[in-house]
Structure 1
Amino acid sequence: MAVRILVVEDDPLLGEMMEEFLSEQEFEITLASNAKEALDLAYERPFDLWILDVKLPGGDGFSLLKSLREAGKTTPAIYTTSLHTLQDLESGYESGCDDYLKKPFELKELLVRIKALLKRRFAHKQEEFEELGGGWRFCLGSKRLYQGEDLYSLASKEIELLSLFLQNKNRLLSHEEIFDRLWSYGESPSEMSLRAYVKNLRKILGKERILNQRGEGYLYVG
């Protein structure tokens, strides 16, 4: 399966160059040009790596990554920026980035950074698997569900809910807490949709693993 990379760049020419170059290296590239679009994509789809421009319309890369980290997103991230001061560098790492590339840069240098970061990421991939029983296992790092060796497709919010349950075993999660994690800014939470997600996860985990505390929330029994 191709490595999936979200490239966030507001310069159309540079964005197209990065997309074309990385696609030639057999990466699966999704391109975004502003902070809101990037945030929506990062919530909707699983990526193996984010490449984030710092200066963006409608926000900035620092705030974008900080929001994603606070929401529990652990995808590795590389900043690309024309900012060069030590304070900028500190701000970047404090917001949760894994690497930093100053503009202008050579595309080959970007490729070297990507490969190094992914190598570190995937070297620990086995350690991140959560065995769910019945041949099911979940990779906490990439948020991917497997049936044996086969990747199993779930809706993005079902994936996020499964990840949330596994990170909070034997702890009651209120409806409000779940809504805050699964529904992004501007979306309207739906209790009916949440019930449907829980029903689908129970088919995988078993009814006894996800308990409904009526009027309060859900408890995952680990």
Structure 2
Amino acid sequence: MQERILIVEDEQKISRVLQLELEYEGYETIVAADGKQALEYIEAEEWSLILLDIMIPELSGLEVLRRVRRQENDTPVILLTARDEVYDKVNGLDLGANDYITKPFQIEELLARIRANLRKTVQSGSSNETLQVGDLQIDTAAHEVIRSGNMIELTPREYNLLVCLLENKNRVLTREQLIEKVWGFDYIGETNVVDVYIRYLRQKIDKGYDKAYIQTIRGVGYSIKEGSQ
């Protein structure tokens, strides 16, 4: 089936170039020129991926992203932004963006990012597995986290971090590895963001239980182990 990409971009010259390049590569595309139109398209149709400019009329790209993720829509989103500010990039990733690219960009790089994110979607969609350690389990198809029968609410970033740790159960992951796997290979910021989110996870996953699964390996990183205490 042909993969469908929604281009959310108000600059007509840019959106036209993107549309021509993507259609040349075999993708089906539609352009939305503002945030409200983008939401209408997203809610009405199925998309393989969304290219979402941050600076668009009506609703900002970040507000569109916030509403999309609030609806539990996990369509891959790549943010397009002319800003070179760390805040926008970090904020977008924390809201659930899968990737970002700063304008002006080379079309070859954008195409590579699109292919990478579409591959991840295929891989995750084909697994539909339950990740588990002891009484903690994740239903990756339903995006549900349960411990001792209790449903645990996580933000998208907390969820992705926990999935990463469980997929690498009994292995120690460095902060740099977690940054690359969860935040993206080109994340710009301090690696202590991992420590912050590990603390958030521990409050939700381990606090109040006899057994703590998330372990700190001093000088190395973090791990979830079968025999954790």
TM-score of Structure 1 vs Structure 2, range by shorter chain: 0.5 to 0.7
**1:35, CA displacement in angstroms?**
0.3
Q: What is the deviation of 1:127? A: 2.4
2:125 corresponds to which residue? 125
Cα distance in 1 between the residues matched to 2:82 and 2:104: 7
SS in 1 for 2:83: coil
Task: Supply the RMSD in Å over aligned alpha carbons.
Answer: 2.0
CA–CA separation in structure 1 for the residues paired with 2:96 and 2:77: 8
- Is the aligned partner of 1:62 residue 2:62? yes
Measured after TM superposition, the shift of residue 3 of structure 1 is 0.6
* Deviation digits for residues 150-205 of structure 1 (CA, Å, limit 9, x no counterpart): xxxxxxxxxxxxx9xxx8xxxxxxxxxxxxxxxxxxxxxxxxxxxxxxxxxxxxxx
Mapped to 1, the partners of 2:56 and 2:18 lie a distance apart of: 16
Amino acid paired to 1:61: G
Alignment of 1:140-151 (within 5 A): none
Are positions 1:3 and 2:3 aligned together?
A: yes
TM-fit CA distance, 1:65: 0.6
1:177 aligned residue? none
Partners of 1:94 and 1:13 in 2: CA distance? 29
Report the residue type matching 2:11 in the other structure.
Answer: D
Shift of 1:106: 1.1
Pairs within 5 Å for 1:19-30: 19-30=19-30
In the other structure, the counterpart of 1:147 is none
Q: Report the alpha carbon displacement of residue 6 of structure 1 after superposing the two structures with TM.
A: 0.5
1:9-55 deviation per Cα after TM superposition (whole angstroms, max 9, x unaligned)? 00001000000000000001111110000000000000010100000
Equivalent pair of 1:63/1:95 in contact (CA under 8 Å): no
- Listed as ranges, the gaps of 5+ residues in structure 1 are 130-139, 142-162, 168-222
Give the letter aligned to residue 122 of structure 1. Answer: V
AA matched with 1:85: E
Q: State the alpha-carbon separation in 1 of the partners of residues 44 and 19 from structure 2.
A: 20
Matched residue SS, 1:13 = helix
Letter aligned with residue 110 of structure 1: L
Aligned to 1:59, what secondary structure does the other structure show?
coil
Deviation at 1:96, TM superposition (A): 1.0
- Partners of 1:124 and 1:39 lie apart in 2 by 24
Instruction: Give the 4+ runs in structure 1 shifted more than 4 A.
Output: none
How is 1:208-219 mapped onto 2 (pairs within 5 angstroms)? none
Q: TM-score, normalised by structure 2?
A: 0.56
Structure 2 unmatched ranges of 5 or more:
130-139, 145-229
Residue in structure 1 matched with residue 37 of structure 2 by the alignment: 37
Amino acid of the structure 1 residue aligned with 2:53: D
Offset of 1:125 from its aligned partner? Answer: 1.8
TM-score by length of 1: 0.57
State the Cα deviation string for residues 34-79 of structure 1 (Å, max 9, x = none).
0000000000000010100000010211110110100111101000
Report the alpha carbon displacement of residue 84 of structure 1 after superposing the two structures with TM: 1.1
Count of aligned pairs between the two proteins: 134
* Secondary structure class of the residue paired with 2:114: helix
Q: Does 1:86 align with 2:86?
A: yes
2:168 corresponds to: none
What amino acid is the match of 1:79?
L
8 Å Cα contact 1:3-1:28 kept in structure 2: yes
